[in-house]
Chains A and B, each alone.
Chain A
Amino acid sequence: QVQLQQSGAELAKPGSSVKISCKASGYTFTSYYISWIKQTTGQGLEYIGYINTGSGNTNYDEKFKDKATLTVDKSSSTAFMQLSSLTPDDSAVYYCARSTTIPYFDYWGQGVMVTVSS
């Protein structure tokens, strides 16, 4: 069955970076995009961007262009998101989700909580 397994919770200091992962199984990894979505209590769900897992091409929402970097390792069917220059506003739960070229997310990871605190 299709699964997206995300890495564990992160506690990071302001100004640092974190890299979270999303390991896919149960389907042909390169046949689907992986998107990343941020969830906070105040802002709800926010779309960060996607990576074409076959080509490595990425597309980011303008708000996250300087914050997130999406990469992929096809050999391990894993997508990654690095968040840089962390501030407390980056504290959130981050989800990966699968889609085709149409942004309908039919499978989601379990979410990763990132906490930014000194």
Chain B
Amino acid sequence: DIQMTQTPSSMPASLGERVTISCRASQGISNYLNWYQQRPDGTIKPLIYYTSNLQSGVPSRFSGSGSGTDYSLTISSLEPEDFAMYYCQQYDSSPWTFGGGTKLELK
């Protein structure tokens, strides 16, 4: 199975700050990488698919990039509703696997 490692596991940040979350795969995944947000109430929403494509309705302050084994999610200017958990997910090779999550916390 492909292991997905997210760093950091938690990140204190301030409103308006630019943050980047990293996701590293144990082998190359050819950009088959999605990002999700999980809110404190457990609701999970899609953010980005195939590395850099923004889900409809997701604010443009979210962006994704990467290639090979290394990928990232960037939020350009944090809003209050962005403080949540974020997960990456690869779909290059079954079983599809998720990163361990990054908790974005208010500093």
Chain A residues close to B by CB (< 8 Å):
44-47, 59, 61-63, 93, 95, 97, 102-108, 110-111
**Is there an interface contact between A110 and B42, defined as CB atoms closer than 8 Å?**
yes
Chain B residue with Cβ nearest A64: B95
Judge if B98 is at the interface, Cβ distance under 8 Å.
Answer: yes
Chain B residue with Cβ nearest A106: B46
**Is there an interface contact between B46 and A104, defined as CB atoms closer than 8 Å?**
yes
A62/B43 contact (C-beta < 8 A), A44-B100, A104-B49, A105-B36 known: no
Chain B residues close to A by CB (< 8 Å):
34, 36, 42-46, 49-50, 55, 87, 89, 91, 94-101
**Is there an interface contact between B98 and A111, defined as CB atoms closer than 8 Å?**
no
- Tell me the bound Cα distance from A102 to B42 in angstroms: 24
Chain A residue with Cβ nearest B53: A104
Q: Which 4 A-B pairs have the closest CB atoms?
A: A45-B98, A61-B95, A108-B44, A103-B91
Q: Distance in Å from the Cβ of A114 to the closest Cβ of chain B?
A: 14
Chain A residue with Cβ nearest B98: A45
Query: Apart from A47-B98, A93-B42, A95-B44, what 5 extra A-B contacts exist at CB < 8 Å?
Result: A62-B95, A104-B46, A105-B34, A107-B46, A108-B45
Q: Distance in Å from the Cβ of B89 to the closest Cβ of chain A?
A: 8
**Is there an interface contact between A108 and B95, defined as CB atoms closer than 8 Å?**
no
Q: Distance in Å from the Cβ of A24 to the closest Cβ of chain B?
A: 16
- Tell me the bound Cα distance from A32 to B107 in angstroms: 40
**Is there an interface contact between A102 and B91, defined as CB atoms closer than 8 Å?**
yes
- Which residues does chain A contribute within 8 Å of B49, judged by CB atoms? 104
- Tell me the bound Cα distance from A111 to B45 in angstroms: 12
Chain B residue with Cβ nearest A111: B42
- Which residues does chain A contribute within 8 Å of B50, judged by CB atoms? 104
**Most-contacted residue by chain A among B49, B94, B95 (CB, 10 A):** B95
Q: Distance in Å from the Cβ of A68 to the closest Cβ of chain B?
A: 13
Chain B residue with Cβ nearest A103: B91
